[in-house]
């Protein structure tokens, strides 16, 4: 059930976030139209987006490799804060063609709840 002190579900979710981060870094640097619309070309905005995702991906990869509970805990806190900010921006600027309630539910299920549970578990470890 665990990978050392890290439950498999947290390890698997962190691996998912690692792959997602590297994928979105690629998108930001080389294929911004996937995330930012057809008219998007690489520019400063997409480079900042890509750099953020690349950094998070590298940090998650290191934390997973080291099987570091404190590193993973802090990364989940960082991701949680970023996801809250991204959710707010997505709703305020109407960035996706979905009903706002559907956006909130999606963010809660895919990001915020798993990250909150991981934080609770990892910071509960002695």
**Among candidate residues 51, 47, 52, 61, the one with its CA nearest the CA of residue 16:** 61
Per-residue pLDDT at 5: 83
5-24 residue pLDDT tens:
899 999 999 999 999 999 99
What 3-state class would DSSP assign to 6?
Answer: strand
> What are the boundaries of each domain within the chain?
2-124
60 contacts 21 by C-beta, under 8 angstroms: yes
Q: What is the pTM of this model?
A: 0.91
55-111 residue pLDDT tens:
999 999 999 999 999 999 999 999 999 999 999 999 999 989 899 999 999 999 999
Instruction: Kindly tell me the burial class for residue 18, based on how many C-beta atoms sit within 10 Å of its own C-beta (0-12, 13-18, 19 or more).
Output: buried
Per-residue pLDDT at 22: 98
Per-residue pLDDT at 90: 94
What 3-state class would DSSP assign to 59?
Answer: helix
Rounded distance, CA 82 to CA 120, Å? 17
| Rounded average pLDDT over 40-52 | 91
Read off the pLDDT band of 120 (50, 70, 90): very high
């Amino acid at each position: 059930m665990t990978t050392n002190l890290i439950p498999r579900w947290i390890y698997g979710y962190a691996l998912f976030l690692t792959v997602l981060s590297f994928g979105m870094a690629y998108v930001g640097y080389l294929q911004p139209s996937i995330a930012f619309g057809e008219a998007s070309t690489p520019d400063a905005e997409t480079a900042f987006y890509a750099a953020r995702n690349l950094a998070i991906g590298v940090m998650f990869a290191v934390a997973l490799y080291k099987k570091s509970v404190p590193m993973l805990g802090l990364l989940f806190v960082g991701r949680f804060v970023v996801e809250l900010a991204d959710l707010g921006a997505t709703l305020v600027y109407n960035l996706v063609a979905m009903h706002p309630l559907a956006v909130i539910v999606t963010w809660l299920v895919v990001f915020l709840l798993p990250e909150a549970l991981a934080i609770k578990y990892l910071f509960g470890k002695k």
